[in-house]
Amino acid sequence: MSKTRLTARPEIELSAAKMQRTKRLTKRERKDQSPGPKGQQQAHIHCIACGRHLDPQEFTANPPTAKQLICEHQSRFPACVDCDLLARQLIAEHDRTGKPVQQASAWH
Ligand SMILES: [Zn+2]
Ligand SMILES: [Zn+2]
Ligand SMILES: [Zn+2]
């Protein structure tokens, strides 16, 4: 009788230890992983007139809250819809002087 009890015990202990180990690993690995490799990082888009951060979805929303303005050299400049007038002035200035667009400093 005592012999059967002895063989049953180690099995239980083993499976319990196994479970603890897998639990610990998944919890840690998820948190520590930093987002994506270099190539996956997308450049931030900011309004050239006010510097506000623009999400890519803002250009495709209905109605859109951001738009791409194109200068005479076919360069694209992102801007809020609300900043349209100011952004156009900046681009016009750039096209007139040939200098880079004087973008507002980016903020979040
Ligand atoms: Zn803006
Ligand atoms: Zn940003
Ligand atoms: Zn231009």
- Reported as a single tens digit per residue, the pLDDT across 44-102 is 999 999 999 999 999 999 999 999 999 999 999 999 999 999 999 999 999 999 999 99
pLDDT (0 to 100) of residue 96: 97
Distance 35 CA to ligand 2 centre (A): 16
CA dihedral (20, 23, 27, 33) in degrees, to 10, reads 100
pLDDT (0 to 100) of residue 36: 41
**Smallest-distance ligand from the CA of 91:** 3
Give residue limits of the domains in the chain.
2-35, 42-97
Distance 66 CA to ligand 1 centre (A): 8
Distance 49 CA to ligand 1 centre (A): 5
Distance 82 CA to ligand 3 centre (A): 21
Question: Around Cβ 58, how many Cβ atoms within 10 Å?
Answer: 18
